[in-house]
Amino acid sequence: MRPIDYSLYLVTGRNLLPPDKDFLASLEESIQGGVSVVQLREKDLDTQEFVRLATQSKSVCDKYNIPLLVNDRVDVALAVGAHGVHLGQSDMSVEQARKLLPSGSIIGLSCNTVDHVRDAVLKKVDYIGIGAVWGTLTKKLTSPVIGVRGVGAMLAELDGTDIKSVAIGGIKSTNLMRTLHGSISPSNHALDGVAVVSDIMASPEPQSAARKLKTTFSQFQESCSRHPLGLNDATVKTDLGLLTSESIMDGVTQLMTEIRKANPLVHQITNTVVGTQSANVTLAIGASPIMATEPREMEDLSRICGALLVNIGTMRAENLEGMLMAGAFANSFRKPVVFDPVGVGASAFRKASVKSLLDTWQASVIKGNAGELAALAGTTEVESKGVDSVGSGFKDPKNFVRNFAKRERCVVVLTGAVDYVSDGVSVVALHNGDEILGRFTGSGCILGSIIASYCATASQVAQADPNLDKGGIFRGDMFTAAVAGILVLTIAAEISVKTDDVKGPGTFLPALIDTLWNLTPEQVRELSRITVN
C-alpha cells in the first residue's frame, strides 16, 4: 500500500452542511481543495443507510485516489471495502478489528492521554488521533481538552515508531498554525496531519476552505525545514559558523534604522504602574504605542498593529479576556506577540492565567527574569519574591534559555546582570547595562515595550520582502529583534547614567528617554558587548 498522506484529514458531519449543500458535492469539492484522507463519521444512521452513504462516499474518494476510513463501524468498512477504520477508546478493540479487516487495512485510534498513546504503540496501530486539542461544538467531549502545549508529550511516545499522528478537536484555519507550531515534542516530533470537521463541512465553499488549510500546513512544513522551531530567523547559521556578533549587529543596526522609517504601531496590554513610561520609551525609539484592553477592540487592533505586548504586572480577572483575544487575533494575522509574565510565581491566579494565555496563543518572544522564567518552566532552581528573583540565578543559564525556548517554541529572553537570548538553537549573552536599571519601577516592563517595537519592525521588514516572509506562525526575525531591544535599552542606560543631570533613579528616567531618542546605530555597534554561543 502506498504511504498515506494524513496532512488534511476530513471528518464528516452532514449536520453541519449549509442549507441546500449536497453532502457528496461538498465531499468532492473538499478533496479537490486538498483533503488527503476522509473519515466517514455517522452516529445516527441505521446500518442500511450508513452502508449506502459509505458506498457513495467511497466512489467519490476512489475517483481521486483518497483513502476512506469509517468511524467505529468495522462492519460498514467491510461492506464497502473501505481502506480502514478509526476506533475510539470504548469501541471494538484494535485486536478484534484487525482479525476482521483484510490485511493491510488502516486502523487509527483516538488518544487523550500519554497512557493511551503508549497502549497504541503496543497495539501497533497505523495512526493515532490526538484530541481534543481545542474545545469543539461538533462532538460531546468525554475527556478533558488536551491543549496545544499538551500534545508534545504524547508525540514523544511515538519517537522511534512508524505510527503517524493527527490532531483533532476544534481545529480551523484561524488556529491551525498555532496548533501545528505548538504541537511538537522536545525532539521535534511534529504532527503528520490535522483532522478538521466544521471548518470544511460547514463552509459553502469547501474547496476554498480545504485549500486554505492545506496551504497553511505546507507553510508550516516549509518553516520547519529551515529552522527546528519554525522561526523566521538566521540563527541556524551557528552550525555553519556564520552567526557572529558582527552579523547580529548588522541586523540590530538595520532594525534601528528601519524603526524610524516604519514607525510601527505597537499594541500594549501592560500594567498600570508603567503605562506612561512604556508609551514614552516606545515613542523615543521611533515606534507608536496604543494602550488598549477592551476585548471588543482586539480584532481591529490586531489588523493594524505591528506587534502585541502582553504584560501581566497588574493582572486582573477582567483583563484576561482581552489578553486571550488579542493574542489569538495576533497569531491569526501573523503578528509578533511579546509576553512578559511579570511575577508569575507570586500567586496561583497568575499561574493559572498564564497557563490559559499560553495554551490559547503562541508567543514569539517570552521575556522574564530568572525567578519568573523558573516559575514558568516549573523548576525550583531559582526562587522569586514578588516580581524579583532571589539568589544568584541559574547555574547554567545558557542551556536553560535554549531548552526553554525549545519547549515553548519561541525566542526566550532571560534578563539579569547578563542578559541571555535564545531561539532554541543559538544563545547570545549580552553584557551591557547599569545597576541603576534595577533601581526604578518598571525597567523590565519598558524593555518589553522596546522589544515589541523592534519585533514589529522586523515583521514589517519581512512583510515588505517576499524573500524574507517565508511562512510560519509570525513574520520576521524575532531573535535579532529581541537582541536589538536589550542592547538599545542597556546601552542607553550606560550613556544616561554618566550625564551630569542624573543624580539618581528619579532623574535617570527622563535622561534615559532623551538618550533613547538620540541613540544612533553607530553608538550601539561601538558599545555593544555580545557573546555568541
**DSSP-assigned states of every residue in 166-213:** EEESS--HHHHHHHHHH-B-TT--B-SEEEESHHHHT-S-HHHHHHHH
Instruction: List all residues 6 or more positions away from 13 whose beta carbon is below 8 Å from its beta carbon.
Output: 41, 138, 197, 198, 201
- Asked if residue 236 is part of any domain, the answer here is no
Which three three-digit cell numbers place residue 451? 522589544
Which three-class secondary structure state does DSSP give residue 388? strand
* Cα radius of gyration (the chain): 25
**Are 193 and 255 in a shared domain?**
no
Nearest to 289 by CA among 437, 299, 274: 274
- Asked if residue 1 is part of any domain, the answer here is no
Longest CA–CA span in the chain (Å) reads: 90
- Asked if residue 3 is part of any domain, the answer here is no
**Sign of torsion, CA 339 345 349 355?**
positive
Nearest to 165 by CA among 121, 222, 228, 115: 121
Q: What is the pLDDT of residue 240?
A: 46
**Are 444 and 492 in a shared domain?**
yes
**Are 299 and 204 in a shared domain?**
no
Element (H, E) at 411: strand 411-415
CATH number of the domain within which 114 lies: 3.20.20.70
- Asked if residue 118 is part of any domain, the answer here is yes
101-124 tens-digit pLDDT = 999 999 999 999 999 999 999 999
Catalytic residues, by residue number, are 445
**Are 164 and 249 in a shared domain?**
no
Cα–chain center distance at 465: 23
**Are 178 and 253 in a shared domain?**
no
Q: Can you give the residue range of the structural domain that contains 514?
A: 245-532
Domain boundary among 175, 196, 225: 225
* Residue 452: C-alpha distances to residues 100, 265, 279, 302, 344 (Å): 58, 10, 12, 14, 20
Contact 443, 420 (CB under 8 A): no
- Asked if residue 274 is part of any domain, the answer here is yes
Domain boundary among 176, 196, 225: 225
Domain boundary among 225, 255, 271: 225
Per-residue burial over 34-70, b if 16 or more Cβ lie within 10 Å, else e, is bbbbbbbbbeebeeeebbebbeebbebbeeeebbbbb
The tens place of each residue's pLDDT in the chain, 533 residues long, gives 568 999 999 999 999 999 999 999 999 999 999 999 999 998 888 999 999 999 999 999 999 999 999 999 999 999 999 999 999 999 999 999 999 999 999 999 999 999 999 999 999 999 999 999 998 766 666 678 999 999 999 999 999 999 999 999 999 999 999 999 999 988 889 999 999 999 999 999 999 999 999 999 999 998 888 787 878 665 555 454 568 899 999 999 999 999 999 999 999 999 999 999 999 999 999 999 999 999 999 999 999 999 999 999 999 999 999 999 999 999 999 999 999 999 999 999 999 999 999 999 999 999 999 999 999 999 888 866 665 656 668 899 999 999 999 999 999 999 999 999 999 989 999 999 999 998 888 899 999 999 999 999 999 999 888 777 767 888 899 999 999 999 999 999 999 999 999 999 999 999 999 999 999 999 999 999 999 98
- Asked if residue 42 is part of any domain, the answer here is yes
Classify residue 499 by its DSSP letter: S
**Are 348 and 479 in a shared domain?**
yes
Contact 77, 101 (CB under 8 A): yes
Which three three-digit cell numbers place residue 415? 534578563
Contact 248, 483 (CB under 8 A): yes
**Are 220 and 265 in a shared domain?**
no
- Asked if residue 172 is part of any domain, the answer here is yes
- Asked if residue 170 is part of any domain, the answer here is yes
Q: What is the pLDDT of residue 82?
A: 98
CATH number of the domain within which 337 lies: 3.40.1190.20
**Are 292 and 408 in a shared domain?**
yes
Q: What are phi and psi of 310, to 5 degrees?
A: -120, 120
Q: What is the mean pLDDT of the chain?
A: 92
Q: Burial level of 255, CB count in 10 A (0-12/13-18/19+)?
A: buried
**Are 218 and 282 in a shared domain?**
no
Q: Give the CA angle between residues 282, 288, 293 to the nearest 5°.
A: 90
Alpha-carbon gap, residue 267 to 301, rounded angstroms? 7
Q: The whole model's pTM is what?
A: 0.90
Q: What is the pLDDT of residue 230?
A: 78
The total of structural domains in the chain comes to 2
**Are 285 and 190 in a shared domain?**
no
**Sign of torsion, CA 255 260 263 267?**
positive
